[in-house]
Amino acid sequence: MAAFEELVARHRDKVYARAYSMMRNEEEAIDLSQEAWVKGWQRLRQFQGESSFGTWMTRIIINLCLDQLRKQKRQRTESIEAMDEESGGVERQMPVVTVNPTAGLERQELRGRIDRALGQLSYEHRTALVLHEFEQMEYKEIAKTMGCSIGTVMSRLFYARRKLAALLADLKKQD
Amino acid sequence: MDYRAQLKLQAFLDRELSEAEAKEVAAWLSRDQEAAALAAELRHTHEALAGLETGVSLPESREFFWSKIERDIHRAEAPAPLPRPAGLTFIGRLRRLLVPASAVALVALAGLVVTRQEGSSRLPGDVETALSDPGAFTYRDYNAGTTLVWLSYPAENELAGEDEASTVE
């Protein structure tokens, strides 16, 4: 148990950061991280060492977050915008953002803006982006994790990136 | 630029294309300004996200967070409570017997009360005093079919000196 406590101490920030990026809620991210560590303990015998322990734990937290997000989605009514996003069409009409909307921003300010923009994406778009940008997952891997086709992953990523660029540009204009 | 071309451009930036396809897209990018602008936007977004999670830490102390995990692990590993036996427990059996017994007792009690009330509404018998003989009382109990005669003095035909009362059925 003491060795496991040490593993928790070593990887807890990474697991929490992944949960927070996906959930956008501190409390939920803490609760899910805790649940992930309990699951990690229970499944410790299944850990074969094919990937690093940190990566293995990250997979557990990603799956827990996805389950939670799906549950939450079922509980609320889908917006028309979300349905449009899913069908893949809105992003084609978006004008290209020609200037870099994050140029000249300090790290802290940039973090705050991106946080707000990420919070405005649907969980499917945000998750695709998080898995690609922060976990460096390939399209095939994202599709397997999210239970969708590679084509859907490509559409979700494209929409998420274009929407994020538009949101960041809007925030820059407001200054 | 159609949607397929846009997605292909994105796949190129994500290094998801084969070598041959990547060469093709690179050549297209060098001659198409619209494609180049879209590529620049996608690169900016990628750069903005880079390092975003650096420095993010769990807002709870190591000890506190671990204590919660440890508690949940122990809770999950605790043996499940034994299932209740399929049959009834002693109290259950007792309750099963007591309920109908109480109902029977209640009915019996109600019957008794009604009987007593009916009984008290009428006299159990009659008491008569003969005017001709004020020393004699007659009591008739209709329910028991009994008649009692009370003589408070010795009858004339009885032996003189015997003055105590006697009862004749």
Q: Which of residues 55-84 of A touch B (CB under 8 A)?
A: none
- Residue B5 C-alpha, separation from nearest chain A C-alpha, in angstroms: 11
Q: Does B78 touch chain A (CB under 8 A)?
A: no
- Residue B125 near residue B131 (C-beta atoms within 8 A): no
pLDDT in tens, A84-132: 555 556 666 677 876 677 776 677 788 888 888 999 999 999 999 999 9
Q: Is residue B150 part of a domain?
A: yes
- Residue A121 near residue A129 (C-beta atoms within 8 A): yes
Name every residue whose Cβ is closer than 8 Å to that of residue A97 and which is 6 or more positions away in sequence.
A165, A166, A168, A169, B41, B44
φ and ψ at residue B59, rounded to 5 degrees: -80, 40
Q: Which residue has the tokens 């929490």?
A: A16
Q: Does B21 touch chain A (CB under 8 A)?
A: no
Helical packing angle, B3-13 and B19-31, nearest 10°: 110
What is the distance of C-alpha A145 from the center of its chain? 12
Predicted TM-score of the model (pTM) = 0.67
- What pLDDT, on a 0 to 100 scale, did the predictor assign at position B143? 76
Domains identified in chain A and CATH numbers:
2-75 (1.10.1740.10), 80-174 (1.10.10.10)
**Distance (Å, rounded) from C-alpha A132 to C-alpha A125?**
11
Inter-chain CB proximity B69 and A37 less than 8 Å? yes
Pairing of strands B146-151, B136-141: antiparallel
Average pLDDT over residues A125-144: 96
Inter-chain CB proximity A161 and B42 less than 8 Å? yes
Of A73-77, A165-169, B49-53, which range is least confident? A73-77
- What pLDDT, on a 0 to 100 scale, did the predictor assign at position B132? 61
Spell out the SS3 assignment of chain A: CHHHHHHHHHHHHHHHHHHHHHHCCHHHHHHHHHHHHHHHHHCHHHCCCCCCHHHHHHHHHHHHHHHHHHHHHHHCCCCHHHHHHHHCCHHHHCCCCCCCCCCCCCHHHHHHHHHHHHHCCCHHHHHHHHHHHCCCCCHHHHHHHHCCCHHHHHHHHHHHHHHHHHHHHHHHHHC
**Distance (Å, rounded) from C-alpha B12 to C-alpha B21?**
8
Q: Is residue B159 part of a domain?
A: yes
pLDDT in tens, A8-46: 999 999 999 999 999 999 999 999 999 999 999 999 999
Question: ipTM greater than 0.90, yes or no?
Answer: no
Higher-confidence position of B114 and A10 = A10
Q: Is residue B164 part of a domain?
A: yes
Q: Is residue B113 part of a domain?
A: no
- What pLDDT, on a 0 to 100 scale, did the predictor assign at position B86? 58
| Extended strands (E) in chain B | 125-129, 136-141, 146-151, 166-168
Q: Is residue B149 part of a domain?
A: yes
- What pLDDT, on a 0 to 100 scale, did the predictor assign at position B168? 46
Q: Is residue B71 part of a domain?
A: no
**Distance (Å, rounded) from C-alpha A88 to C-alpha B58?**
35
Q: Is residue B110 part of a domain?
A: no
- Amino acid identity at B96: R
- What pLDDT, on a 0 to 100 scale, did the predictor assign at position B96? 75
Q: Is residue B25 part of a domain?
A: yes
**Distance (Å, rounded) from C-alpha B150 to C-alpha A92?**
124
- Residue B29 near residue B35 (C-beta atoms within 8 A): yes
Q: Which domain holds residue B156?
A: 125-168
Tally of domains within chain B: 2
List chain B residues with CB under 8 Å of A165.
41-42, 44-45
pLDDT in tens, B121-150: 555 566 666 666 666 667 777 777 777 776
Q: Does A25 touch chain B (CB under 8 A)?
A: no
- Measured CA distances, A146 to A92, A139, B15, B29, B44 (Å): 23, 10, 20, 31, 25
For residue B166, name the pLDDT band (cuts at 50, 70, 90).
very low
pLDDT in tens, B46-91: 998 988 888 789 999 999 999 999 999 999 888 777 666 655 667 7
Mean pLDDT of chain B: 79
- Residue B38 near residue B9 (C-beta atoms within 8 A): yes
Q: Does B4 touch chain A (CB under 8 A)?
A: no
List chain B residues with CB under 8 Å of A97.
41, 44
**Distance (Å, rounded) from C-alpha B163 to C-alpha B154?**
5
Q: Is the pLDDT of residue A56 over 90?
A: yes
The two counts, helices (H) then strands (E), for chain B are 5, 4
Give the gyration radius of chain A's Cα atoms: 18
- Residue A166 C-alpha, separation from nearest chain B C-alpha, in angstroms: 10
Q: What is the dihedral of CA B8, A100, B49, A20, to 10 degrees?
A: -110
Inter-chain CB proximity A8 and B65 less than 8 Å? yes
Name every residue whose Cβ is closer than 8 Å to that of residue A127 and which is 6 or more positions away in sequence.
A22, A65, A66, A69, A146
- What pLDDT, on a 0 to 100 scale, did the predictor assign at position B153? 61
**Distance (Å, rounded) from C-alpha B155 to C-alpha B165?**
10
Inter-chain CB proximity A101 and B57 less than 8 Å? no
